[in-house]
Amino acid sequence: MALAERAPHHEATGAAVSRPLLLLIGGALAFWLLVGLPARMLGGGDQALVFSGAAVLLCLPPMAATLLWAAWARDKTPADQMIMIAGSTGIRMAFVLGGGLVLFFAVPYFQGQASFWVWVLVVYLFTLALDVALMLAMRPAPKM
Query: For 61-82, what is each residue's pLDDT tens digit?
Result: 999 999 888 888 887 888 888 8
Q: Pick from 135, 132, 119, 109: which is nearest to 55 by CA?
A: 119
pLDDT at 123: 95
Average pLDDT value over all residues in the chain: 85
* Residue 54 to residues 8, 26, 83, 114, 131, Cα–Cα distance (Å): 39, 16, 29, 14, 18
pLDDT at 3: 44
Mean predicted confidence (pLDDT) in 4-11 = 44
pLDDT at 139: 74
Query: For 40-56, what is each residue's pLDDT tens digit?
Result: 889 888 899 999 999 99
pLDDT at 11: 44
pLDDT at 17: 66
pLDDT at 13: 53
Greatest distance between any 2 Cα atoms in the chain: 64
Mean predicted confidence (pLDDT) in 3-9 = 43
pLDDT at 129: 93
pLDDT at 73: 80
Question: Which range is most confident: 11-15, 38-42, 93-97?
Answer: 93-97
Banded model confidence at residue 16, pLDDT cuts 50, 70, 90: low
